Amino acid sequence: MADKLIIVESPAKANTIKKFLGGSTKVMASMGHIRDLPKSKLGIDVNNNFEPEYINIRGKGDLIKELKKDAKKAKKVYLATDPDREGEAIAWHLSKILDVDADKITRVTFNEITKTAVQKAIKEPRSIDINLVDAQQARRVLDRIVGYKISPVLWKKVRRGLSAGRVQSVAVKLIVDREEEIEKFIPEEYWNIYAKLLDSKTKTEFEARLYGKQGKKLEIHNKKEVDEILSIIEKAKYIVQDVKKGEKKRTPAPPFTTSTMQQEASRKLGFTLKKTMSIAQGLYEGVKISEKGTVGLITYMRTDSTRISEEARKSAQEHIVKEYGEKYYENRYYKTNKDAQDAHEGIRPTYIDLEPEQIKEDLTKDQYKLYKLIYNRFMASQMSAAIYDTISVTIDANNYTFKANGQNLKFKGFMTLYVEGTDEKENEEEGVIPELEINEEVIKQKIESKQSFTEPPARYTEASLVKTLEEKGIGRPSTYSPTITTILERRYIEKEQKQLKPTELGKIVNKLLTENFSNIINVEFTANIENQFDNIAEGKEQWKKMIADFYTPFEENVEKVQKELEHVEMVDEVSDVKCDKCGRMMVYKYSKFGKFLACPGYPECKNTKTIVETIDVPCPKCGGTIQIRKAKNKRKYYICENNPKTCDYISWNKPKK
C-alpha cells in the first residue's frame, strides 16, 4: 500500500516525477480533465445562480474507479496538476470525485520538474485555491453561454454547423479589419535620392541619402520634383557639415514568456502555435536523456512573467563566465508587464549544464530546435550588451542636406549566442563610413533616384496576431494557441503562406456578429472580461455575480436578434473548373478533410472533385506532373501523377529542377 498518492495530468509527467520519490509513493495520471460541462446541452442552471452541471467525461469511468481505489488506500493524496488556473480546476474536480476525506487531500505545485522542486513542493503542501478555480469556472461558464447561445443564431441565419466563440470571434474580427484596411489602401508615390560619394583621402566609397533642404526634412512625391532637385545638385560641391561619433548599446531580450516563445518559434523555426506548445509541453513534462533517465528540460511553459529565480541566475552566471569570460556576463532583471499574472518564472532551461548540443541525440529534431531556442534566449538574457561604434555624417550640396550613417560592431556580447527576430522588414545594413572631417569635400561618383510606393499594413501572421492579442489584453498565455487553431479549423480564416486572411465565410460570420453583438464581439469588452477573471483569481470579485451581470442583457440581445435578423445568403466561391457531368462551373466547399470542388447543381448533379496541388518541377523519372499529397500525420509528400500506373516516383522531399 502506497503511503502517498500523487496525481498529475499526464503519463510523461508521472514518469519524470516517479524517479524523485521513494518506493512508498504512487504516481498516477488523470489524463487531463476528468469532469466537464456536457456537450449535448448548455449545462448551466441559469435559474439556480448559474450552477454548472458537471459530468464525468465519457471514457474515463475505469480511470476514475482506479483513482478512487488508490486514493482510499493511500494515507495522503497530493494533487500535483499544472500550476495555473486550469491545473487548479483539475485538482478541484479530482477532489470532488475521489470520495475520500477532505483532510486527506492536499495540493502541491512546482514550476519545474526537478528533484529539488518536486521534493520541496511535497514538503510544502497547501489547500486548493478556490479563487483560481472560480476564475477558471467563470471563463468556462461565460464561454459556454456565449458559444451555446450565439451559435444557434448562426445556424438559423447563415447555415448549420457554424459556431461562435467569445475570444475567437474577436480574433477573427482583427483579421477581417486588417483585410479591409488592405483592400481600402491607396498607395502613395514617393522617391528617394542617393549619392555615391568618395573620400579622396582613403579612397573609400560610401552612400548618403537625401534628407532635406537647409536641414529641414523633405518629402519627394513625383518624378518632376526629383528632376528639379537633380538639376540643382548635379554640379554641386558635396561638403561635410557635421560628423557625430558615438557608441550604441544593444541589450538582450528577456527570457521567454508563452507569447514571445510562440512568436520566435514561428519566425525562426516556422512552427505553428499548436506545434510549439505541444513540443514545449513535452520538454516540460520530461524527455528520456541518456544516463540520466527522464528529465524535465524547461520550466512551466504557460507564463506571462519574465522573472527568473536567483538559483537560475547564479547558474547562468557561472556558465557564462566559464564559457565566454567575465566581460560577457551582466546580472539583469526584467520588468514584467503590469497586466501579467506573474505566478511563474519566465521559460528557461531547468539544468544549465544540459546544453542543446550535448543532448541533441536524445531529442527529436523539433525538440532540439525549440530547446536550443529557449536555452540560448535565456542565457543571452543574462549576458552583456553588444556595443557598436556609430558615426553620423551630414553633407551639404547646394543647400540640400544628405545624411549617411554607419556602425561597426566592436563587442558582440549576448549576440554571440542569440539575436531576437522581428516581424518587420529588416533595415538595410548601415555601411562603413570613412573618417571624415568638417568642411571636407567628398567627390560625387553617382546620383541615383528610386521610386517607391507606400505599402498597406501587412496581414497578420500567427506570431504577429499573438503579439497583438497580448498587447490588447485579449486572452492569456493558455488561450493564444487554441484560439488561433480553432478559427483555422472552423475555416473562418486560412493561411496563405504564413499570412492569415479571412475566408468569405469568416467575413460573413464576422459581419453578422459585430453588427448584432457589438457589445460582446469587441476588443474592449474582451480585455475587460480578462481583467474580471484576474480579479476573481485574486478574490476581489464573485464569479457568479459577474456571470449574472452579463447574462440578463446578453439573453435579451440574443432573443431580439433571433426575431429580427433576416437569413443571410451564403454565396459559394466559384472556381474555374467546369463540371465534367453537367457543364456548370464548380464551387469550393469544405469538409473536415479540407477544401474540395462540388457541382452547384446539387442534388440534381452530385459530382465532386478533390483539389490537386501541384508543383512546377517535372517528375525526375518520367517528366509527368508532381502532385503534393498529405499523409495521415498531415506531413506533405510528393508523388507523380502517373503513380502507380506507369511511374513509381514518390518522395518526402521536394524534387529539384
Q: Please identify every residue annotated as catalytic.
A: 300
- Crossing angle of helices 130-157/523-537, nearest 10°? 150
Assigned C-alpha cell, 357: 548540443
The dihedrals phi and psi of 598, each to the nearest 5 degrees, come to -140, 150
Distances, alpha carbon 212 to alpha carbons 220, 396, 400, 440, in Å: 9, 10, 6, 20
Which amino acid, 435? Answer: E
Which amino acid, 58? Answer: R
**193, 196, 198, 235: which is closest to 213 by C-alpha?**
193
Bridge-based pairing of strands 4-8 and 25-29 is: parallel
CA neighbours closer than 13 Å in the CB half-sphere of residue 375:
21
Assigned C-alpha cell, 632: 495521415
Distance CA 224, CA 229 (A): 9
Distance CA 170, CA 187 (A): 28
Q: Does residue 644 have a cis peptide bond before it, meaning omega lies within 30 degrees of 0?
A: yes
Assigned C-alpha cell, 491: 475555416
**621, 638, 620, 642: which is closest to 629 by C-alpha?**
638
Assigned C-alpha cell, 290: 541518456
Give exposure, 611-620, as e/b (b: 16+ Cβ within 10 Å).
eeeeeeeebe
Give exposure, 583-607, as e/b (b: 16+ Cβ within 10 Å).
ebebbbebeeeeeebbbeeeeebee
Distance CA 39, CA 44 (A): 11
DSSP 381-437: HTBPPEEEEEEEEEEEETTEEEEEEEEEEEE-GGGGT-----SSPPPPPP-------
The residue behind cell 478559427 is 487
Question: Measured on CA atoms in the order 261, 267, 273, 277, is the torsion positive or negative?
Answer: negative
Distance CA 540, CA 527 (A): 17
Q: Where are the beta strands (DSSP E) in 166-258?
A: 189-199, 204-213, 216-217, 238-250
**582, 579, 576: which is closest to 598 by C-alpha?**
579
